[in-house]
Amino acid sequence: MTRPHRIAVAGAGMAAARLAQQLRDRTPPDAAEVTLYGAEPHPPYNRALLTAAVIGRHDPETLGLPYGDGTVLRTGTRVAAVDPAARVLRLSDGTTAPYDTLVLATGAAPVLPYELRGPRPARVHLLRTLADARALARDARDSARAVVVGGGVLGVSTAHALAGLGTRTDLVHAGPHLMHRHLDAGSAADLHRLLAGLGITARTGTRPTGLHGSPAVTAVTLADGDKLEADLVVLACGVRPRTGLARAAGLRVARGVVVDDRLTTSDPHVHAVGDCAEHRGTLHGLAGPAWDQADVLAARLADHVTGVPPRARHTGSRPVLRLAADGLHLAAFGDPAAPAGHDVLRLADARRGTSTRLVLHGDRLTGGVLLGDTGTAGDLLTLWRRADPLPGDPARLLVPEGAPT
C-alpha cells in the first residue's frame, strides 16, 4: 500500500492555514499527510484582527482560522533546521521529522529602529502575535498617553484602536507621509486630517531616538528634538521576512525566500508562501497575496499527489488594502502614483472627511484610494482587476450611484 505524501509546513500562520485548508479540500484523505509546525502555542488565527482584539471588538479566542480536517497541528514546535538532502526536519523539541515536500510559511519578524534595540522599559509593546495583543490590551486599559511608532497599516490601525479607548495618542512615522507605500501624498494628507479629528496627532519625517523611564516607559525622544510623554508605547515599524531557516538550508535568499511561478525555491522539494516569500522581486506583507500564493500552491500539490501534472502558476497578485473601523474606512489598490501619461480624478469633501482619488491610463483604471466613504470600492475594484474600459464619463466613478451631485 502506498503511504500518503508527507507535506510539512514550517509555520502555522495565515498562509499556512489557508494552504492546509485548500489541500484538505482538494485531496483524498489518504493521498497526503499535512503537518503544520507552529512556534506559538495557539492554532492558526487571523493576525489582521489583532488590533480589534486590543480594544475588545473581537475576543482573542474567536480569531481562529480553519486549517482543514485531518491536518496535523504541532503547536509550540518550531522547525529549527532543514536537511534538504535527507529531507528531514529538526524540531525545537529535539526530535526529527521526515518530509516529502516542505513548505516554508515562516512569515515575517518585526523590525526595530537600531536606537530602540536591546532591553526596553515596561509597557513598550510589539504587536505581531496573540500574546502581544493580550499584553497590549492589559496595559491599554489604564493608559492616558500613548505613542505609536510607525505610520504604516499596523501603526495607523493601532493608533486608531488606542484613541478609541480614550487614550491620547501620538503617531510617529519616519516616512515622508503616512502609509507611504500605499498612499499618495494627497490621500495621506486627508488621512492625517481624519486622524486628527479622532484625537490622534501624527508626526511624519521623524523617528524615535530613545525610550525613557524605569521600570515603565515615561517618554519617547525624537530625532527632531521633541520629547513625547507616554505611559504606553507600541512599536509598529514594519517587518522583515524570516529567512534564517531557508538561508541555513542553502536555499536562495534575497530580501525573502526566492520562489518562481510554481512557488518553488532553489530546491525542487521546498516551496515558500506568504510574508517570507519573494516572487519576481516582490514582497507584499498583506493577507491577500499570501492567500493567493497558498491557493496556487495547494492546487499544484494536490495535482502532484493525485498523479495529475500540475498546471497552476502564480504570476503575481493585485493586492487591495482595506481598513474598516469606527470612523476609519480606507481602500487602496493599484499604483497610487500617477506616472507620465496618466490622469488623476479626485473628489474631496472636507466637511464629511471623505476623498476619492483615481489614477487613469487612457480608458483604464490603474489605481485608487478611497477614504471615509468606500461605497464605490466594489465596482472600482472590478474595473481595475478586469482592466475593463471605463464608462463614457469617468467622473461618474467618483460618486456612488444614486448619490446627489
One-character DSSP codes across 74-115: EET--EEEEETTTTEEEETTS-EEE-SEEEE---EEE---GG
Contact call for residues 355 and 347 (beta carbons, < 8 A): yes
β-bridge partners, 370:
331, 356
Average pLDDT, the chain: 94
Contact present, 167 and 144 (Cβ < 8 Å):
yes
Task: Note down pLDDT in tens along the chain; length 405 residues.
Answer: 589 999 999 999 999 999 999 999 999 989 999 999 999 999 999 999 999 888 877 776 789 999 999 999 999 999 999 999 999 999 999 999 999 999 999 999 999 987 888 899 999 999 999 999 999 999 999 999 999 999 999 999 999 999 999 999 999 999 999 999 999 999 999 999 999 999 999 999 999 999 999 999 999 999 999 999 999 999 999 999 999 999 999 999 999 999 999 999 999 999 999 999 999 999 999 999 999 999 999 999 999 999 999 999 999 999 999 999 889 999 999 988 888 899 999 999 888 889 999 999 999 999 999 999 998 899 999 999 999 898 878 888 887 665 555
- What does each C-alpha distance from 314 to 259, 289, 296, 333, 340 come to in angstroms? 10, 10, 6, 19, 29
Rounded Cα distance, 63 and 45, in Å:
5
Task: Tell me which DSSP letter residue 394 carries.
Answer: G
All three cell numbers of 287: 493577507
Is the dihedral angle over the CA atoms 41, 14, 26, 5 positive or is it negative? Answer: negative
Place of cell 491620547: 168
pLDDT at 402 (0 to 100) = 53
C-alpha cell at 266: 532553489
Q: How far apart are CA 216 and CA 74, in angstroms?
A: 36
pLDDT recorded at residue 147: 98
- Please tell me the pTM assigned to this model: 0.94
Three cell numbers, residue 126: 510589539
Q: Give CA angle at 354 (359, 401), nearest 5°.
A: 70
Do the Cβ atoms of 210 and 219 come closer than 8 Å?
no
Alpha-carbon distance values, 355 to 195, 331, 368, 399 (Å): 14, 11, 11, 10
Query: Residue 240 burial by CB count (10 A; 0-12/13-18/19+): exposed, middle or buried?
Result: middle
Give pLDDT, residue 123. Answer: 98
Grid-cell match 472636507, residue found: 350
Site of grid cell 525566500: 257
pLDDT at 173: 98
Position 154 scores a pLDDT of: 96
pLDDT for residue 1: 54
Looking from the CA of 303 toward its CB, the CA atoms found within 13 Å total 12
